[in-house]
Amino acid sequence: MEYLPLLMFVAICLVLLLGYPVAFSLAGTSLAFALIGLATGHFDAAFLHALPNRIYGTMGNNSLVAVPLFVLMGVMLEKSRIAEDLLQSMSRAFGNVRGGLGLSVVAVGMLLAASTGIVGATVVTMGLMSLPSMLKQGYSPALATGTICATGTLGQIIPPSIALVLLGDILSSAYSQAQLNLGIFTPKTVSIGDLFLGAIIPGLVLVLLYCGYLVLYTRWKPDAAPLAEDGHQAIAVGEVVRSLVPPMVLILAVLGSILAGIATPTEAAGVGAMGATLLALLRNQLTLARLREVVLSTTEVSAMVFMILIGAAVFSLVFRGFGGEEMVESLFRQLPGGAFGATLVVMLVIFLLGFILDFIEITFVVVPIVGPVLLTLGVDPIWLGVMIALNLQTSFLTPPFGFALFYLRGVAPPGVLTSDIYRGVAPFVALQLLLLGMLALWPQLATWLPYTLMR
Partner 1 sequence: MFRIFNAIATCIDRFTHYSGRIVAWLTLAVMGLTCSVVVMRYYLQTGSIALQESVNYLHASVFMLAIAYTLQRGGHVRVDIFYRNLSRTGQAWIDTLGGLLFLLPLCGVMLWLNWDYVVNSWTVKEVSSESSGLPWVYLLKTLMLIMPVTLLLQGIAETIKNISIIVANSTADNSPTDTRG
Q: Which stretches of the chain bind partner 1, using CB under 8 A?
A: 16-25, 27-29, 31-32, 48-49, 51-53, 55-56, 59-62, 64-65, 68-69, 72, 118, 120, 262-263, 266-267, 269-271, 273-274, 277, 292, 295-296, 298-308, 311, 314, 356-358, 360-361, 401, 406
Distance in Å, CB of 248 to partner 1, minimum: 21
Decide: 114 and 157 in contact? Cβ < 8 Å: no
**Least distance between partner 1 and beta carbon 113 (Å):** 18
Q: What burial letters (b/e) apply to 159-188, b meaning 16+ CB within 10 Å?
A: bbbbbbbbbbbbbbbbbbbbbeeeeeeeee
Q: Which is nearer to partner 1, 6 or 271 (CB)?
A: 271
For residue 440, the minimal CB distance to partner 1 (Å) is 29
CA dist 270 and 129 (Å) reads 26
Q: Which long-range contacts (CB under 8 A, 24 or more apart) does 107-112 make?
A: 108/83, 108/151, 109/148, 109/151, 109/152, 109/154, 109/155, 110/151, 110/154, 110/155, 110/158, 110/207, 111/83, 111/86, 111/247, 111/248, 111/251, 112/74, 112/77, 112/78, 112/83, 112/86, 112/155
Which H helix or E strand runs over 220? helix 192-220
Closer Cβ to partner 1, 129 or 269, answer by number:
269
R_g over Cα of the chain: 22
Q: Would you list the DSSP string of 20-89? A: S-HHHHHHHHHHHHHHHHHHHT---GGGGGGHHHHHHHHHT-GGGGHHHHHHHHHHHHHHTTHHHHHHHH
Minimum gap (Å) between residue 225 Cβ and partner 1: 32
- Classify the C-alpha dihedral 17-19-23-29 as positive or negative: negative
Query: Which is closer to partner 1, CB of 217 or CB of 306?
Result: 306
Q: What is the DSSP letter of 357?
A: S
Closest approach, Cβ 54 to partner 1, in A, equals 10
Please give the DSSP secondary-structure letter assigned to residue 223: G
CA atoms within 13 A on the CB side of 140: 18
Q: How far apart are CA 6 and CA 366, in angstroms?
A: 12
- Nearer to partner 1 among residue 59 and residue 237 (C-beta): 59
Query: Residue 32 or 417: which CB sits closer to partner 1?
Result: 32
Kindly state the smallest distance separating residue 369's Cβ from partner 1, in Å.
Answer: 19
Virtual CA dihedral for 424, 428, 429, 435, nearest 10 degrees? Answer: 170
From the CB of 406, what's the least distance to partner 1, in Å? 7
Decide whether 96 or 299 has the Cβ nearer to partner 1. Answer: 299
Cβ 258 to partner 1, closest distance in Å? 12
The Cα 271–Cα 276 span in angstroms is 9
> Do 77 and 247 meet the contact criterion of CB atoms below 8 Å apart?
yes
Residue among 169 and 361 whose Cβ is closer to partner 1:
361
Return the ∠ at Cα 85 (arms to 81 and 88), rounded to 5°. Answer: 140
In whole angstroms, how close is the CB of 382 to partner 1 at the nearest point?
A: 26
Residue whose CB is less far from partner 1, 23 or 105 = 23
Which of residues 130 and 297 has its CB atom nearest to partner 1 in the complex?
Answer: 297
Closest to partner 1 by CB, 360 vs 375, is 360
Neighbouring CB atoms inside 10 A of 351's CB total 16
Instruction: Give the nearest distance from C-beta 224 to partner 1 in angstroms.
Output: 30
Which CB sits closer to partner 1, 136 or 292?
A: 292
CB of 265 to partner 1, least distance (A): 11
Q: How far is 387 from 366, CA to CA, in rounded Å?
A: 14
